[in-house]
Amino acid sequence: MIKVNLLPPRFQGKGKKTKKNVLVLLLAIIIILAFSGGIIFLFNYKNTFNSEVNKVKKELQTQKEKNISYSEIEKKVTDLNIKLNSIKTVLQDRIYWSSVLKEIALNTPTDVFIENLTVSSKKEQNKISLRGNASSRRSIIKFKEELTASDYFKAVDFNVSNLINTNDPLSSVDFTITVYY
């Protein structure tokens, strides 16, 4: 088939240019649309990403608040454990004074008089010093033997100031007994 162009020569090239212009315009519109679509896609992706980042930031803040709360609770628990251990130590090292004094009273003969009772509590050595007098040396020796036989006391030290002095049988005998518990 033969194509004959009946248009004058000055208009004959315009058809090709118009087709070219239309193609260029169409191509430009497609590029602009693709570019706009890419921008819209990136904008939406940025917004989604920002919302995810904000959500993670909120979760992180919540977790930090929980961690602070947990650390406060942990500190309180540690303090309570220290206090509980102190209480346990005090209760384990506790001396039942009523029982100790009752034991001394039960083992004291009727003619032995305690004038002074001194308690010294140290971790390594607990002791009670008893000072007084008795009507006879035999009563003091009996008192010392009773305290020595008692399960409450570890050791008994015995000092008598005038045990050897036998000049006056009616005089009282002064003594100092130290009992270790």
Answer yes or no: do 76 and 111 share one domain.
Answer: no
pLDDT at 124: 66
Answer yes or no: do 153 and 133 share one domain.
Answer: yes
Answer yes or no: do 80 and 52 share one domain.
Answer: yes
Answer yes or no: do 138 and 156 share one domain.
Answer: yes
Instruction: Select from 75, 94, 113 the last residue of a domain.
Output: 94
- What's the domain count of the chain? 2
pLDDT for residue 150 is more than 90: no
pLDDT band at 11 (very low <50, low <70, confident <90, very high): low
CATH number of the domain where residue 118 is located:
3.30.1360.100
Answer yes or no: do 69 and 138 share one domain.
Answer: no
Boundaries of domain holding 120: 97-180
Residue 1 lies in a domain: no
Residue 163 lies in a domain: yes
Segment 50-61, tens digit of pLDDT:
999 999 999 999
Cβ count near 175 (within 10 Å):
25
Answer yes or no: do 127 and 146 share one domain.
Answer: yes
Instruction: Select from 69, 94, 119 the last residue of a domain.
Output: 94
Contact 108, 114 (CB under 8 A): yes
Residue 107 lies in a domain: yes
Residue 116 lies in a domain: yes
In the chain, the percentage of residues whose pLDDT exceeds 90 is 27
The least confident of 32-46, 103-117, 156-170 is 156-170
Residue 4 lies in a domain: no
Pick the more confident residue, 54 or 167.
Answer: 54
